[in-house]
């Protein structure tokens, strides 16, 4: 079955999961972890997203973020591309590090935001990476310590969450600590990571109730929310897709796009697919990658195959600061 398109829009809450390929270690040491967290922090500081919760485990990572104007896919590309390139260089390896594409679930904030903050931050304890709550409070590779004030993370959105637990920081942190402790007996909760009806309806109890009363409902494996939220989100997605189709932007293949870039920059089209690296060529390739990947829907892998370069080099150019004149070039297509 073909995989479904991601659901995303500004101000959307996402639970994101990234796993190492074939269960290999996504993080081998604290240098890797610090690199990943620094990239996560940079995106938060730049306003790409609001980070509520996160946890790094040996072979996977969890993020709970709310997107802003920048699409989730763009932010994740910025986060993972640089991290993987650096990881491979440090550990002298080649090839993919992340299993398939990362998994993202759109979350209904009420009632799931606080539940997911707790669930994600208990991951190191459930995985026995830390022995108890005291150690979890000082574990530097999750957002739990930032909420408790034991690990400074100025880029993490702690204030918004703590405000839901009490009127002062001290009272809020005590209440949050008790809330997290109460979640330990719940163990692993498949409804937060599973698929379809179970997740969208809110767990097995909700599923049983719906089936007993033969209540019609909708479900989607990309969404953690109640039926009305799922229906609303899917209607919005369908409307956005129709509006996008009505825009009528031409579907431009890579070959004609290369010709347009060549005409625009004065760089011969054949040179764009050669291995040379002059300043003019780098400028033209950057324009090509940003137009193709960020705006015209081509994958980094497809562009890389066409140019005869690596996917990581295409993605690096695609997510680099936007080229001057890019919008004018796109409008002229």
Q: What pLDDT, on a 0 to 100 scale, did the predictor assign at position 148? A: 97
pLDDT at residue 107 greater than cutoff 50: yes
Q: Please name the helix (run of DSSP H) or strand (run of DSSP E) that holds residue 64, with its range, or none.
A: strand 60-67
pLDDT tens profile 235-255: 555 554 444 444 444 457 888
pLDDT at 28 over 80: yes
**pLDDT score at 307:** 85
Closest to 219 (Cα-Cα) out of 202, 241, 238, 200: 200
- DSSP 8-state symbol, 322: P
Alpha-carbon gap, residue 333 to 252, rounded angstroms: 8
pLDDT tens digit string along 7-26?
666 788 889 999 998 888 99
Answer whether 220's CB lies under 8 Å from 196's CB. Answer: yes
Q: Is the CA virtual torsion 187, 193, 196, 199 positive or negative?
A: positive
Q: What is the pLDDT of residues 136-193, one digit of tens each?
A: 999 999 999 999 999 999 999 999 999 999 999 999 999 999 999 999 998 676 666 5
Give the per-residue pLDDT at 182. 95
What is d(CA 236, CA 165) in angstroms, rounded to the nearest whole number?
32
Mean local confidence (pLDDT), 47-71: 93
Interacting residues of 261 by C-beta distance below 8 A, sequence separation 6+ = 267, 269, 272, 284, 287, 288, 291, 329
Cβ proximity of 64 and 52 under 8 Å:
yes
Provide the pLDDT confidence category of residue 308 given band limits of 50, 70 and 90.
Answer: confident
What pLDDT does residue 248 have? Answer: 42
- Residue 238: the pLDDT is 53
pLDDT at 117: 96
How far apart (Å, rounded) are the C-alpha atoms in residues 38 and 55? Answer: 14
As a whole number of angstroms, the distance between CA 245 and CA 277 comes to 37
Give the residue, 221 or 79, on which the prediction is more confident: 79
Average pLDDT over residues 72-78: 90
pLDDT of residue 162: 95
Look at residue 43 in the predicted model and tell me its pLDDT. Answer: 94
Has residue 324 got a pLDDT over 50? Answer: yes
pLDDT, tens digit (0-9, with 9 covering 90-100), for 192-232: 654 443 444 444 444 445 445 454 444 445 666 555 555 55
Domains and CATH numbers, the chain: 13-186 (3.30.70.1290), 190-247 (no CATH), 254-331 (1.10.1750.10)
Q: What is the pLDDT of residue 252?
A: 73
Rounded distance between C-alpha atoms, residue 202 and residue 219, angstroms: 10
- Kind of pairing, strands 223-224 and 103-107? parallel
In 3D space, the residue among 299, 261, 244 whose CA is nearest the CA of residue 77 turns out to be 299
Comparison of pLDDT for 244 and 105, the residue scoring more:
105
């Amino acid at each position: 079955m073909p995989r479904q398109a991601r659901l995303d829009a500004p101000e959307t809450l996402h639970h994101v999961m990234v796993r190492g390929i074939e269960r290999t270690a996504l993080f081998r040491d604290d240098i890797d972890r610090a690199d990943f967290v620094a990239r996560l922090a940079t995106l938060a500081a730049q306003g790409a997203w609001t980070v509520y919760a996160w946890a790094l485990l040996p072979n996977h990572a969890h993020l709970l973020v709310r997107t802003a104007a920048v699409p989730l896919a763009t932010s994740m590309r910025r986060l993972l591309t640089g991290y993987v390139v650096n990881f491979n260089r440090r550990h002298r390896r080649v090839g993919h590090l992340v299993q398939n594409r990362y998994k993202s679930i759109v979350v209904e904030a009420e009632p799931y935001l606080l539940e997911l903050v707790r669930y994600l931050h208990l991951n190191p304890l459930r995985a026995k990476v830390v022995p108890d709550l005291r150690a979890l409070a000082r574990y530097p590779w999750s957002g739990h310590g930032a909420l408790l004030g034991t690990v400074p993370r100025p880029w993490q959105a702690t204030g918004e969450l703590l405000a839901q637990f009490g009127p002062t920081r001290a009272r809020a942190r005590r209440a949050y600590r008790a809330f997290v402790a109460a979640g330990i007996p719940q163990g692993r909760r498949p409804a937060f990571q599973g698929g379809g009806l179970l997740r969208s309806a809110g767990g097995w109890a909700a599923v049983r109730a719906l089936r007993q009363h033969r209540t019609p409902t909708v479900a989607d494996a990309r969404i953690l929310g109640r039926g009305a939220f799922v229906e609303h989100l899917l209607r919005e997605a369908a409307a956005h897709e129709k509006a996008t189709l009505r825009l009528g932007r031409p579907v431009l293949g890579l070959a004609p796009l290369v010709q347009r870039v060549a005409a625009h920059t004065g760089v011969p089209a054949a040179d764009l697919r050669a291995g040379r690296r002059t300043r003019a060529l780098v400028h033209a390739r950057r324009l090509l990658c940003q137009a193709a990947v960020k705006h015209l829907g081509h994958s980094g892998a497809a562009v890389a195959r066409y140019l005869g370069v690596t996917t990581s080099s295409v993605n690096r150019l695609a997510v680099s600061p936007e080229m001057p004149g890019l919008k004018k070039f796109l409008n002229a297509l």
